[in-house]
Chains A and B, each alone.
Chain A
Amino acid sequence: MKNWTTRNLVALAVFGALWGVAEMSLGAVLHALKLPLTGLIMSGVGMLVALTGYSFVPRRGAVLTIGVVAALLKAFSVGSVVFSPMLAIVAEAILAELALALGGGPPRRAPMALAGALAGLWSFCHPFVGQGLLGGKSMGSIYSRLIEGGAKLLHLDPGAVSAILAALVLLHVVGGAVAGILALGLGNQLARRLRAGVA
């Protein structure tokens, strides 16, 4: 962070605040209502914001900084569950950062999609870490709830475990990748808008 400019930091603050606001408002409501795929929705929104931020500040550590800012803001959230989403935000930011580091260079479609996909995949794995390892719930019960929920959501037979798992993983990966690609387009549009001076 040492050679980052003030403008870089302020831009990251903007995108961190946007992700944080989304988590504090939409995330809190979705988690309270226990809607299906809340993790994927919030991961998609987060990646849309964070990767748009990366297209403005294409430096190593930018997405992680945005994630840490959002996680700190989430600590001030009104919802009753705070630590687990905070952990999810930071984990998604780290995975996205890794994917962008692998891709290297300026923001391009493939690394952005990979970053979104990895973050989306984390939202699939997160219940096992957040509720299992940290919350103390048994892995078996989390797994069976995941399969039951997936079967209901996808209208599949609960016995077709591998099909349900594959469909859920695919859904999360594709959802995240789409968020990454959309972020690139959004970043370009935003840059054009700012250059043109349109509010």
Chain B
Amino acid sequence: MLRERLGTAGSFGCLFAVLVTACALGGARSCLALGLALVLALLFHPGAFRIVRSRTLWTFVIVLLGSGALWLGPPDWRLGSVPLSSSGLIAGLWMAVRALAIMLATRGLAASTSPGELAGLLERVGMRGLGFTVGVAVNLLPALERSSGRTWDTLRMRGGLRHRRRMMLRLGTLTVMSNALRRADEIAIAAEARGFGVVRSRPLPLRRGALDGPLLATLAVGLALAVVWR
């Protein structure tokens, strides 16, 4: 299997290549970024295709298309009484294409690497301690999402933001932050129990794959061509 022959550096290279292509190529050429993301996902990260089942993804795409048609260009046709812009709709479409490419590549990386590997990579490029910090932050994201969801539900049950908005917002922020800090305390205790320290820690091991070198070289050539073509 190809995906088993790709290491951490190769997986990061895939994301980086899609990000640069999406940022460098505008308009209809954004489709190249999506094409690259699709090919890389198909070859190395098939798990990334799970995002097509995400309602949030399609809502986001619809918001981009809708906001483009409504606000991004001069209106030249109407849907009922709403003035819409075809050039804005097309601009929104290319934004959505770029967003899809980035989301696919990001999901691919998330499916193929762990925060530990991410941390290991950063530690290796001289950012001692930062790798650990980023690893913990990535690990905290699902907990933060759950915590903020629960906090919002609690606030809504108490009347939401209909009255005393400032106090409710402050309470919500405090609750999310204090929950996150409590969880952080547990992480710190666990890390200290395992002997972690900025000075004495060694970078976490990275996966190496036979395809890392050839893939990175191919992507580098492709990126250089894309930047020149821009």
What mask results when residues 69 to 83 of chain B are scored 1 for a CB within 8 Å of chain A, else 0? Answer: 001100000000000
Residues A160-191 near B (CB distance < 8 A): 186, 189-190
What is the minimal beta-carbon distance from A5 to any residue of chain B, in angstroms?
8
What mask results when residues 171 to 196 of chain B are scored 1 for a CB within 8 Å of chain A, else 0? Answer: 00111111111111101100110001
> Which size bracket describes the interface of A in this complex?
35 or more
Residues B23-74 near A (CB distance < 8 A): 23, 57, 60, 63-64, 67, 71-72
Decide if B17 is an interface residue (CB 8 Å cutoff).
Answer: no
Contact call B199/A13, Cβ cutoff below 8 A: no
Given contacts A68-B130, A69-B133, contact A9 B173 (CB under 8 A): no
A2 to B127 CA separation, bound complex (whole angstroms): 10
Given contacts A2-B199, A21-B144, contact A69 B187 (CB under 8 A): no
Residues A74-102 near B (CB distance < 8 A): 75-80, 82-83
Contact call B191/A6, Cβ cutoff below 8 A: yes
Contact call B174/A11, Cβ cutoff below 8 A: no
Residues of B contacting A68 with CB < 8 Å? 130
Residues of A contacting B199 with CB < 8 Å? 2-3
Given contacts A1-B130, A6-B197, contact A80 B181 (CB under 8 A): no
Decide if B22 is an interface residue (CB 8 Å cutoff).
Answer: yes
Residues of A contacting B185 with CB < 8 Å? 7, 10
Given contacts A18-B144, A18-B177, A34-B67, contact A80 B137 (CB under 8 A): no
Given contacts A78-B103, A80-B95, A198-B178, contact A17 B144 (CB under 8 A): yes
Our pick among B60, B178, B197 for the contact of A190 (Cβ within 8 Å) is B178
Residues of A contacting B137 with CB < 8 Å? 13-14, 16-17, 20, 69, 73
Residues of B contacting A186 with CB < 8 Å? 170, 173-174, 177
Our pick among A11, A75, A199 for the contact of B184 (Cβ within 8 Å) is A11
Residues of B contacting A33 with CB < 8 Å? 63, 67, 71
Contact call A1/B129, Cβ cutoff below 8 A: yes
Residues B108-125 near A (CB distance < 8 A): 109-110
What is the minimal beta-carbon distance from B84 to any residue of chain A, in angstroms?
16
Contact call A189/B174, Cβ cutoff below 8 A: yes
Decide if B14 is an interface residue (CB 8 Å cutoff).
Answer: no
A81 to B175 CA separation, bound complex (whole angstroms): 30
Contact call B198/A1, Cβ cutoff below 8 A: yes
Q: CB-nearest residue of chain B relative to A52?
A: B177
Residues A43-64 near B (CB distance < 8 A): 52, 56
Decide if B136 is an interface residue (CB 8 Å cutoff).
Answer: yes
Our pick among B133, B182, B188 for the contact of A16 (Cβ within 8 Å) is B133
A52 to B173 CA separation, bound complex (whole angstroms): 11
Residues of A contacting B72 with CB < 8 Å? 34
What is the minimal beta-carbon distance from B61 to any residue of chain A, in angstroms?
10
What is the minimal beta-carbon distance from B31 to any residue of chain A, in angstroms?
13
Contact call B23/A83, Cβ cutoff below 8 A: yes
Decide if B216 is an interface residue (CB 8 Å cutoff).
Answer: no
Decide if B206 is an interface residue (CB 8 Å cutoff).
Answer: no
What is the minimal beta-carbon distance from A145 to any residue of chain B, in angstroms?
14
A-B contact pairs, 12 of them (CB 8 A): A6-B192, A10-B187, A10-B188, A11-B184, A14-B181, A17-B140, A20-B137, A21-B148, A65-B133, A73-B138, A78-B99, A193-B178
A-B interface, 9 closest residue pairs, ranked by CB to CB distance from nearest: A13-B136, A17-B137, A80-B98, A1-B129, A13-B137, A10-B188, A80-B99, A10-B184, A13-B133
Which positions in A face B, CB cutoff 8 Å?
1-4, 6-7, 9-14, 16-18, 20-21, 28-29, 32-34, 52, 56, 65, 68-69, 72-73, 75-80, 82-83, 186, 189-190, 193-194, 198-199
Given contacts A6-B191, A73-B134, A190-B174, 16 further A-B contacts (CB under 8 A): A1-B128, A13-B135, A13-B140, A17-B137, A17-B180, A18-B144, A18-B180, A56-B181, A65-B130, A68-B130, A73-B141, A78-B60, A78-B103, A186-B170, A186-B173, A190-B177
